[in-house]
Each structure stands twice: as C-alpha cells, then as structure tokens.
Structure 1
Amino acid sequence: MTDKGNDEAVPRVTEQMREVIAEEVGKAIENSLSGFIDKIQTTVLSVVDERIKKLEDSASSAKEKLVERKGCSYKEFMACKPPLYNGEVDPIVCQRWLSDIEGVFERTHCDANDFVAYGTGQLRGQAKDWWDNKKKEIGSEEAKAMTWDEFKVPFLKHHSPKAVINRIKEEFIQLRQKGESIDKITGTFLDKLRFCDELVTTEEQKVYYYYNMLSAEYREFMTPSKYETLTEIINAAREREIELKKQIERGERRTQVVNPSPTKKARVSDSSKKQEGKNSTPSCKVCGKGHKGECRFKDKPCPICGKTGHTAVLCPGKVSVCYKCYQPGHKKSECPELSGKKEDKGAHTEAPKAKARSFQLTAVEAKTEPDVVSGKESGTSSGHAGGDIRGKGVL
C-alpha cells in the first residue's frame, strides 16, 4: 500500500513543478520580450533619424547648388520671346518696351550682369544704330561693364525726350472723346496718365480728369462724386456705352461720326451758325450754353466743389493748370517762367529812340534849296512860295 501511494504522489509533484516552471519561464520571457521590443524600437528610430538627416543634407546641398546657378542662358531668354524695339522716339512705346523686357528678365531669373547684353540684342533699326554709336562713344569695355540702370539713362534721354513728354502732358489735359469707343479712349487716357504723376496725384483727380474727358452723352448721366476709383467710373462708362448702342439699334439716337471730312465739317458749322442766328437765346447761368427751358444741370452737384447751381466749366473753385510748368494756380500766359523770359528779352532788345528834329527855312532859302517842293512845282494852286514851303527833312 505504501509503495502505491508514493507512486501516486510523485506525478502530482511533477505536475506542480511543471506549472511553476512554466509560469516562471513565461514571466522571464515576458520581461525579456519587453526589453527586446524597446531595443528594436530604439534601433528603428535611430535608423529613421539618420535617414532623415541624410535627406535633409542632400536637399540643402541641392538648394545651394540651385542658388549658385544664377541667371539663364541666352537660349532660355529667347524662349520667352522678348519684345523688339525699332527706335521710335515715343515715350509711350519706349517705356512699354522697357517694362516688357524687364518682365522677361524677372521670369527667366536672368543674371543682372546679362541684362544689357540680352536686352540690347532686341534692338532693331534706328535703335540698334543708336546703340552701336553709343558703344563707340564710351568704348566696348565700358559697354560690357555697364549696368541696366546706367543703360536706361541715355536710352530714355534719346528715345523719351522731355519735350515730347511735356507735349503728352498737354495732350492729357486737353484730351476729349470725339466718337471713339470707351475702350479706345480709355487706352489713350491710361497711356498718357503714366507721364502725369506730378499732375494727377490722387484717385479722386483721376476720376475727375476721366469724367471731364468723356463726351456729353456720357457725362450727363454720370456724377464723378459717386465713384471712388478710376476702375468704377470706367465700368460705368462701358455700361453707358452699351445703353447708347441699344438706343441706336432702336432708332432713338443717331450714330456719331468720328473725325468728319473738312467739307462736311464746314457745312455743319455753317448750318449751326445759321441756326444760332435764327434761334438766338441768352446763355444759361448754370451751364453757360444757350437753350430753352430749365437747365438739366441745375440740381446736379459740381464735380469740383460739390455745390449745385453751376457746372465744372463755370465753377469758381476750379483750379487752372499751367501748360508750361504744370503747376496749379495760374495759366500758361501768367506763368512766372514765361514772364521772366519776356522781361529779360525786352531788356536786351529795347533800344533808345532817336528824337525828331525839324528845320525851318525862309522863302529865300526855300527857292535856293533843291530838295524843297513848292505847290507851283507840284501842280497845286498855291498863291505864294512862302505858304508852299515844306520842311527839308526830319533827322
């Protein structure tokens, strides 16, 4: 009995030991596995960080190489189709070419040292002749070392002279719409506006000059004080143009003739003069024109001072602009520059006048003098020589 009981107790002890061993081994594996995972994670992160650093280094080196590679080749420059210039002595055409060619410089990332070489390659005709003469004048080495800003100084002086710019300023002040479309007259207005920075300094002044340029069929339905920017009044003029075209299509308005022939213009002026002679009416105090009935500008505010009762032409607060110095406050005839020149010229040219002297002769001396003409000799019926004596001369 005893041996049999011992035999049954041994398997029980063995099973318990196996369970304990398995539990200990599981704990040991679990502890070692967590450390192993941490080790693997640390290793992977270090490898990833190293790879990222290498990529950053390669990207920075590529960027540095790209920065070092400044400029562009002439082939890349010509691929952008830079504009040509034929040498027109026209500030508008000249400065537009400069703006376009500088835009190509910017798009192609052209090196500043190549601006003159690439830009002058687009000169043709008289412009190329001018540049060839300029290079002979300053020397080839100086021409190669010239910067773009240094090039523009003589270029603008020759192709955009001050006298022509002053003429453009006068044309801008006197610009009036005479049947042209809104887009065409607006293009002309903007081209000339570029040269009037000292004359038109604010957006309000731009609106005023644009409104004053439009014909009466546009201005009578527009109020410049309503528009804050030049774009707003241009869009309003386009809307008015569409309405006028619809009226012409409906037969409510006649098409305005642009630049009529001299014969037709003379006929129109003669007929208008005859009509004015027949229907002569006093000038209106509001608009200054002769018409019947109440003036339609009576309740419209003046674009200059904002008050009613007069138009911009008759506004007492209207500031006149001098066409000589382009300064407000006086006219060209009152310009101090012109008055100073006139005074200097008068001081140099004025000469003292000689005083007149007369000689008196007696009747005896008159008979002996050959230069004296008497009434008897000239065919008159004078009675005696003394009354016919005339002076010998005035010195």
Structure 2
Amino acid sequence: MPVTRQGTNDAMTPESIQAMIDRAIQRNSTHTQDDGSQSSGGGIRRPVQPTRVCSYPDFMKCQPLNFKGTEGVVGLSQWLKKMESVFHISDCAIENQVKFATCTLLGVALTWWNGHVRTLGNDAAYAMSWGTFKKKLTDKYYPNGEIKKLEIELWNLKVRGNDVAAYTQRFQELALMCTKFLADETAKIDKYIGGLPDNIHGNVMSARPMTLNFAIELANDLIDQKLRTYAERQAENKRKLDNNNHDQQQLLKKQYVVQDYVVGSGEKKPYGGSKPLCRKCNYHHERECAPKCTNCKKFGHLAKDCWHPINANNQRTITCYECGNQGHYRSDCPV
C-alpha cells in the first residue's frame, strides 16, 4: 500500500522517506556538534573547551622546591613529595615530568643529572619516566646505610623535656622514610605513644587513638594543659612566697621598733669606738677629763660659769685641795 501524507493525496516513495531521514539525522548531528547549543534532552549545552597543556611557566607558578643533594634523606623525601604534588596541581603531562623536575636541581644534584644526560643523551634522558628517575635519585641519595641510621634514631626517639612539638615533627619526618620499620598505622601510633613523657603517656594510651593524627592532637592538648597547670602553680607559689616575705619584713620592723624603744628608754648602747675608757668620768676619751660643774653635775664647765640657777646647798664656795681651783672637790679634780 502506498504511503500518503495526512490531508494530501500525494504518495511518498521509499526514496523520499530515506531522504527525509538522512536530512533529519544530518540536521540533528550538525545542531549538536557544531552549534553545541542543545543537548539530546533539549537542554542548553556549553561549548567544550579543549584542555590546555601545562607549560613550564605554569609548572613554576606552583613553586616547586629546589634540591641540591646536600639536604639528606629528609630533604630528598620532602622534595619528592612536593614535586608529585606540583605534578598533580599543574596537570603536568607525563612526558614533561622529568624535564620540568630536573630544572629544579642545583649544586651536586645538578652535576649528577648532567652526568646522566651526557651518558644517555638528551632524548633518552628526558624520555625517562618519573618512576625510573625517582629510583635513580633515591639510589644515589637514599642509601640503605642512611635508612638504617634513621631506623635506629626512630627506635630511640623520645620527648626531651616537654617539647612534644619538636618530637612530633621529627617523628613524622622519620616515619616517611622508615616504611619497613613502621608498616601500618597501628605501628606508627604505638611507636609515637611510646616516646611520650610519663605525665601524658597513660592518658594518651587509655584514649586508644585509631589514627596517628588523633594521637598527635591529644598529646599536644594534654601537654599544653600540663604546662598551664604548672605555670599556675608556680605563680601561686611565688605569690605565697612574696606574701610570707612581706609578713616577715613587717614583723622584723616591729621588732626593731621595740628594741629601739627599749634602748632609748633605759638601756645604754655599747661603745663601738677605739678610744680608751677613763676611770674618773667613766667615758671614752684620750685627753684629760673635762671639768664637771658641781651645780648642774654636767661636764664641760665649772660652777662659776654655770648658767643654771645656783642651789641653796651650793652657795658656799668650794675649793679643790689638789689644784687650788674653786667649784669642785678634790675627789672630782680633773687634774
């Protein structure tokens, strides 16, 4: 039966039907691929941008580390980790990884790489994979003897004093290299807790941390709390000591005041000079005794020169039989 259009009497041949199908397919393909404005579901599709190849300036913008060959095993491990991170961030192509990475070599490390380039040639050297280059570099600056030394250091590593931060940093550095010594996370946690000081070791152990990061955070929190408590105790002891010293000083001042009052009220202070004691006047001096007034009983003047009123009992003139002067008796004669 011939195929007819609805509402018309014109017949459609198989050739015309196939032509319509081809035009529809071509129209749909052109609209999807060239314009990129509609998707198969009728939505809006953005044009697809081609992936840009990572260039050397793009690689250097990620600030890769330099390696001189004198940083030791720790420095080499940090350089390798940083370089692999830069590869991932910059989307560096596999064929450019060794080429870009070797541009960060300096000093003896650059001399070592230039020797490989001369031996293998530029094309073969820079066609090397990152894994092969990493193995050659670790064989050169990562000898087995050095790893053994680091394992011994890690085995004996402990916290010095209360410096948990320095212990943690060194432990993490050594754990990156001693992968055979610390095979899994549990071994790392046990070794880390084993090096902690006694004042926090039991608390961290009883918490049963499941990850190394949790054990590190717990140890730092505990040691900070211990140090704060110790500082508070020191401040409290200092305050009490200052108060005790103040109280003692006040007590000594009171004692000095009492002693001064007792000495001033009746006691005679001992003589501290070097002059001899006179038997007549009972004072310390070197020359002859000063005259003593019979009126006021004071030394330094006679009764005739006394400015005090003359007593009635002393109105009679007194004469010394020793010197002949008036105003004193022979027993009081200064000669």
TM-score, normalised via structure 1 length: 0.46
- Tell me if 1:107 matches 2:89: yes
Give deviations 1:37-88, integer Å, cap 9, x for gaps: xxxxxxxxxx99975664338999964x724x5x322122122222111112
Cα contact 2:36–2:47 (8 A) shared by 1: no
Distance in 2 of aligned mates of 1:151 and 1:125: 18
| Partner of residue 132 from structure 2, selected from 146, 150, 159 | 150
Give deviations 1:255-287, integer Å, cap 9, x for gaps: xxxxxxxxxxxxxxxxxxxxxxxxxxxxxxxxx
Residue aligning to 2:233: 251
| Partner of residue 84 from structure 1, selected from 54, 58, 66 | 66
Residue aligning to 1:55: 35
SS in 2 for 1:223: helix
Distance in 1 of aligned mates of 2:108 and 2:162: 32
Unaligned runs of 5+ in 2: 1-26, 40-44, 236-335
- Tell me if 1:97 matches 2:79: yes
Question: Which letter maps to 1:56?
Answer: G
Cα contact 1:207–1:224 (8 A) shared by 2: no
Cα contact 2:77–2:177 (8 A) shared by 1: no
Residue aligning to 1:200: 182
| Partner of residue 129 from structure 1, selected from 105, 108, 111 | 111
Q: 1:182 to 1:139 in 2, by over 3 A?
A: same
Give deviations 1:97-125, integer Å, cap 9, x for gaps: 01111211221111211111111101111
Aligned length: 206
Distance in 2 of aligned mates of 1:72 and 1:90: 30
Distance in 2 of aligned mates of 1:141 and 1:53: 39
Q: 1:162 to 1:173 in 2, by over 3 A?
A: same
Residue aligning to 2:122: 140
| Partner of residue 159 from structure 1, selected from 118, 135, 141 | 141
Cα contact 1:74–1:118 (8 A) shared by 2: yes
Residue aligning to 1:191: 173
Unaligned runs of 5+ in 1: 1-46, 254-395
Residue aligning to 1:66: 50
- Tell me if 1:239 matches 2:195: no
SS in 2 for 1:251: helix
SS in 2 for 1:179: coil
Residue aligning to 2:295: none
Cα contact 2:158–2:196 (8 A) shared by 1: yes
Give deviations 1:305-349, integer Å, cap 9, x for gaps: xxxxxxxxxxxxxxxxxxxxxxxxxxxxxxxxxxxxxxxxxxxxx
TM-score, normalised via structure 2 length: 0.54
Question: Which letter maps to 2:218?
Answer: A
Higher Rg of the two aligned structures: 2
Distance in 2 of aligned mates of 1:114 and 1:173: 40
- Tell me if 1:215 matches 2:213: no
Q: CA RMSD in A?
A: 3.2
